[in-house]
């Protein structure tokens, strides 16, 4: 049975992520211990709320460097995707983990669309990837976010919300979803299963 470590650092939706993983048969370990993070077989970085608060929590718990050094499969979820980038313009510019180049900016979808982007949107793959195995173009995923990551070489899949939104990214063994896979029905369950099946 696959073991997965989920960071429980006070800024993530750990309960719903845990239940989604357990439904797939995974053994889930919740932790805020830097040693446990460094030793994890695979790691999930969830996140909800403000980037500044999340980074302050990670820093206070001594988790920033273990995450940066982590070389096995890592999955960021929602705010967890944004935290992988270099900075966020949320409030004063916030330094993030710096694992993927670029700055997270406010979502400005144009007229007739509200912020945050909340609800179901279709995914369009940019290229093949193990995390996208079995996911058809046009599959729906559930989003809740008011900031957006830069669209660049790391983008795996996009959604459309008044323009393209990087919905999934990858850099080396670090993947992330701007949407909530744990709330995205069969699409999200398949993505989580694909993550559990990545070689560690």
Residue 72 and residue 172: Cα distance in Å, rounded? 9
3-state class (DSSP) for residue 147 = strand
- Strands 117-122 and 103-106 turn out to be unpaired
Can you name the residues that pair with 87 across neighbouring β-strands? Answer: 95, 103
SS3 187: helix
Beta-bridge partners for 144: 118
C-alpha distances in Å from residue 69, one per residue of 91, 160, 178, 187: 27, 33, 22, 30
State the Cα–Cα distance between residues 18 and 20, nearest whole angstrom: 5
Which of the residues are catalytic? 78, 180, 182
End-to-end CA distance of the chain: 13
DSSP state of 136: P
Q: Is residue 196 helix, strand or coil?
A: helix
């Amino acid at each position: 049975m696959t073991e997965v470590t989920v960071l429980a650092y006070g800024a993530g939706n750990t309960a719903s992520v845990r239940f989604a993983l357990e439904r797939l048969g995974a053994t889930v370990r919740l932790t805020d211990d830097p040693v446990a993070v460094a030793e994890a077989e695979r790691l999930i970085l969830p996140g909800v709320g403000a980037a500044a608060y999340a980074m302050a929590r990670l820093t206070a718990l001594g988790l920033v460097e273990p995450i940066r050094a982590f070389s096995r499969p890592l999955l960021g979820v929602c705010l967890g995707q944004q935290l992988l980038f270099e900075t966020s313009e949320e409030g004063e510019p916030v330094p993030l983990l710096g694992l993927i180049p670029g700055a997270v900016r406010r979502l400005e979808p144009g007229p007739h669309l509200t912020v945050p982007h909340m609800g179901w949107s279709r995914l369009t793959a940019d290229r093949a990837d193990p995390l996208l195995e079995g996911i058809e173009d046009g599959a729906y995923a559930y989003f809740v976010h008011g900031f957006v990551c830069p669209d660049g070489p790391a983008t795996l899949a996009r959604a459309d919300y008044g323009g393209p939104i990087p919905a999934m990214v990858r850099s080396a063994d670090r993947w992330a979803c701007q949407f909530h896979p744990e709330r995205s029905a069969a699409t999200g369950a398949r993505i989580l299963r694909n993550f559990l099946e990545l070689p560690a």
